[in-house]
C-alpha cells in the first residue's frame, strides 16, 4: 500500500494542481485545538498537514513558531500527546497526509523504533527533521521506512551541488525547499531568481515534488512560488493568526486565514512550469 503522501501528489499531478501544505504546532493555542483545526483545514482544501512537535530549542524556527512551541510546552505537550492528537484526528475523519516536523532530540529520547511504531499506528505518514542532514539520517530513514513512513529532507539556497543530489536521493514523498537562509517567518525577496533556478534544477534532477517553505507569508507569495514549484508550505502566517485570535471557531478561522492561500495555490495550474 502506498503512502498517503505519494497518493496525494499523484492525484494532484493528475488534476494539474499544486500542493497547499499547512503547518500548525501541536497543542497551540490549546491542547484541544489541534484536532479541531486539522478537521477544518482539510475541509477548507489543504492537501497535506505538517504538525510541529514542540521543542525547547527550535533553532530553525522564527519567533512566531518558537513562541507557539513555548505555549504548547506550557500546555504539557509531549511526543506521546502529539501522537495521540494524530490518532484523534484520524478517528475524527481526517484523511489527508500528516507529517510531523520535529527536531531529533524529542524523537531520540522517545526511542526511534518505538516512535516509528507508534507514529505509524496513529496515522502519521512522514517526518521532517530539520537538524538531521541526509548523510547522517540513514538509520532513522531505515527505521521509519520499515513502518511505511517517509523522511522528508530540506534543501536550501546554500546547498552545494553534492548536498542537493544527496537530498534528492534520500528524501521520500517530496523535497522541502527552504526559500531563506535564515529562519521561518521572514519574507522571501520577490526578486530572488536564485530560488527559482534552484527549485527548477531540483525538479529536473528528481521525480519527487519540490515544495517551497519559509517565507510564504501571503497568498501572493504562495502563487508566485507555485509558478515554478510543486506546492508551498504555509506556517508562520497561520500560527501568527492563531496566536493573535485564538481558536473559538476552527471552521471560521480556516475560511478567513487559510482559504485565501488555498485559492492562490489552486489558481496556478501545473504543466506550464
Q: Tell me the catalytic residues.
A: 50, 61
Quote the distance between the C-alpha of residue 142 and its chain's center: 21
Q: Are 96 and 46 in contact (CB under 8 A)?
A: yes
Distance CA 197, CA 225 (A): 12
Distance CA 16, CA 5 (A): 16
Distance CA 16, CA 36 (A): 29
Cell numbers for 149: 513512513
Distance CA 1, CA 20 (A): 24
**Residue with the three cell numbers 497551540:** 28
Amino acid at each position: 500500500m502506498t503512502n498517503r503522501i505519494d497518493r496525494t501528489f499523484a492525484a494532484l499531478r493528475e488534476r494539474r494542481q499544486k500542493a497547499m501544505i499547512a503547518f500548525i504546532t501541536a497543542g497551540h493555542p490549546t491542547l484541544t485545538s489541534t484536532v479541531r483545526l486539522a478537521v477544518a483545514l482539510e475541509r477548507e482544501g489543504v492537501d497535506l498537514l505538517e504538525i510541529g512537535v514542540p521543542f525547547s530549542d527550535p533553532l530553525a524556527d522564527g519567533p512566531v513558531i518558537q513562541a507557539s512551541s513555548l505555549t504548547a510546552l506550557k500546555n504539557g505537550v509531549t511526543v506521546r500527546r502529539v501522537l495521540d492528537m494524530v490518532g484523534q484526528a484520524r478517528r475524527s475523519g481526517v484523511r489527508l497526509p500528516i507529517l510531523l516536523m520535529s527536531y531529533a532530540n524529542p524523537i531520540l529520547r522517545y526511542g526511534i523504533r518505538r516512535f516509528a511504531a507508534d507514529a505509524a499506528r496513529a496515522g502519521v505518514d512522514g517526518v521532517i527533521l530539520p537538524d538531521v542532514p541526509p548523510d547522517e539520517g540513514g538509520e532513522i530513514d531505515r527505521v521509519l521506512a520499515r513502518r511505511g513512513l517517509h523522511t522528508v529532507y530540506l534543501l536550501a539556497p546554500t546547498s552545494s551541488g553534492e548536498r542537493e543530489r544527496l537530498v534528492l536521493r534520500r528524501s521520500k514523498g517530496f523535497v522541502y525547499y527552504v526559500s531563506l537562509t535564515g529562519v521561518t517567518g521572514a519574507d522571501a525577496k520577490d526578486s530572488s531568481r536564485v530560488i527559482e533556478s534552484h527549485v527548477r534544477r531540483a525538479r529536473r534532477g528528481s521525480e519527487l515534488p519540490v515544495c517551497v517553505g519559509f517565507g510564504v507569508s501571503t497568498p501572493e507569495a504562495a502563487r508566485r512560488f507555485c509558478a515554478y514549484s510543486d506546492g508551498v508550505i504555509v506556517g508562520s502566517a497561520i500560527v501568527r493568526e492563531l496566536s493573535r485570535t485564538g481558536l473559538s471557531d476552527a471552521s471560521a478561522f480556516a475560511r478567513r486565514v487559510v482559504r485565501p492561500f488555498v485559492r492562490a495555490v489552486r489558481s496556478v495550474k501545473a504543466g506550464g512550469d
